[in-house]
Amino acid sequence: MSAIRVLVVEDDPAIAGQICHGLMARGYATDLAASGEAAFKACTGGQFDAIVLDRMLPDTHGVELLGRLREAGPVPAVLMLSALGSVEDRVEGLVAGADDYLAKPFDMSELSARLVAICRRGGRKTEDKAEDNSELGGDLTVGRLRLESASHRATFGTEAIELNRKQFSLMAYLMRHADKIVTRAMLIENVWAYSFDPATNIVESNLSRLRTRLQVLGCDPIETRRGEGYVLRADLCK
């Protein structure tokens, strides 16, 4: 399998260097564009799986560039970067069609995890493992692990446990992203929908509670990756 190709659109050389270096170290193939014009050319000319797009560019605005790219043709997954961390800016970025939004400063592992999560190619990898009918009000399945959305029950073989609402949402998100790293910030945004950063580690506490519950079930597929995030391993659900 060839590496995921990412176009990094960032005018600050130091930050652009860090991103490219960090992504290459994680096995991505990266191209750099320092302006909106360069990004437009690069994007219409080459094939990318994802774009890391800075919101403020010297010649244009990230939101405008995204609009132009959409007019020109299909656009790969877009992760918007910004020095503006307010709720409004995040919403504006997502409304403009970005798949995710990340405020500066950020961890490289955070950026990488989010790229994997939004990447079309990355998304297909786990399709055979996680059966996701949750959008239709159905159940989620990874291996023998099953999450029933109507009853908020998790079952593994013949065992069953009931989860509270938060544990259920957490479990569902992890199952939907099985075998991919999900970061603490991704969970805060998507499971809790908090637009702020809690002072305590609510993710860790709730995950450890969830894992205690899962141990009752006899299936504990969640792994903590130090400094990176959490992974629900599909192979541990067999």
Partner 1 sequence: MQVSTALPATPPRIGRLAVQVGLAFALAMGVAGGIAFLAARYQLMQEADDALAHESRKLILKGYPNDSATLAKRVIDRRAQKILASRGHIVYGPDGRLLADGLDIPPLPDGYAETIYRDHSRKWHQGRALSLRLPDGGRLVIVEHSEVDATMREMMLIGLIALIVVGGLAGVTAAWVLTRQIAQRLDLSVGAADAIAQGDLSRRISLDGLDGIFATQAGSLNHMLDRMEQMVRSQRQFASHLAHDLRTPLTRLRGLLQAEAEAHAADRPLLDKAERECRSIIAIFDSLLRLSEIEAGRRPTAMAPLALDEAILDVAETMEPVIADAGSRLALAPLPPATVLADAGLVQQLLVNLLDNIALHTPAGTQASVALAVERHEATITIADNGPGILPPERERVVRPYESGGATRRDKSMGSGLGLAIAQAIMRFHNGALELVDNRPGLMVRLRFPVSS
Q: Is 161 in the site for partner 1 (CB under 8 A)?
A: no
Q: Looking at 192, 220, 233, 236, which residue binds partner 1 (CB under 8 A)?
A: 192
Q: For residue 176, is it left (φ>0), alpha (ψ between -120 and 50) or beta?
A: alpha
Q: Is 196 in the site for partner 1 (CB under 8 A)?
A: yes
**Which of residues 127 and 197 has its CB atom nearest to partner 1 in the complex?**
197
Q: Is 84 in the site for partner 1 (CB under 8 A)?
A: yes
Q: φ and ψ at 168, to 5 degrees?
A: -65, -50
Both tokens of 86, joined, read 């307010």
Q: Is 199 in the site for partner 1 (CB under 8 A)?
A: yes
Question: Among residues 84, 18, 77, 23, which one has the least CA distance to residue 53?
Answer: 77
Report the 10 Å Cβ neighbour count for 123: 14
Using the contact rule CB under 8 A, the part of the chain among 21-29, 65-73, 124-132, 145-153 near partner 1 is 21-29
Q: Looking at 18, 35, 134, 149, which residue binds partner 1 (CB under 8 A)?
A: 18
**Which of residues 106 and 132 has its CB atom nearest to partner 1 in the complex?**
106
Q: Looking at 133, 151, 201, 224, which residue binds partner 1 (CB under 8 A)?
A: 201
Length in residues, the chain:
238
d(CA 99, CA 26): 21
**Which of residues 151 and 205 has its CB atom nearest to partner 1 in the complex?**
205
d(CA 208, CA 109): 21
**Which of residues 44 and 86 has its CB atom nearest to partner 1 in the complex?**
86
d(CA 170, CA 61): 35
CB of 193 to partner 1, least distance (A): 8
CB of 58 to partner 1, least distance (A): 13
Both tokens of 188, joined, read 């805060």
Size of the site for partner 1 (CB under 8 A): 38
Name the β-bridge partners of 225.
229
Q: Is 107 in the site for partner 1 (CB under 8 A)?
A: yes
Question: Among residues 109, 80, 116, which one has the least CA distance to residue 185?
Answer: 109
d(CA 120, CA 73): 16
CB of 86 to partner 1, least distance (A): 5
**Which of residues 109 and 132 has its CB atom nearest to partner 1 in the complex?**
109
Binding site for partner 1 (CB under 8 A): 12, 14-15, 18, 21-22, 25, 83-88, 103-108, 164-166, 192-202, 204-206, 208-209
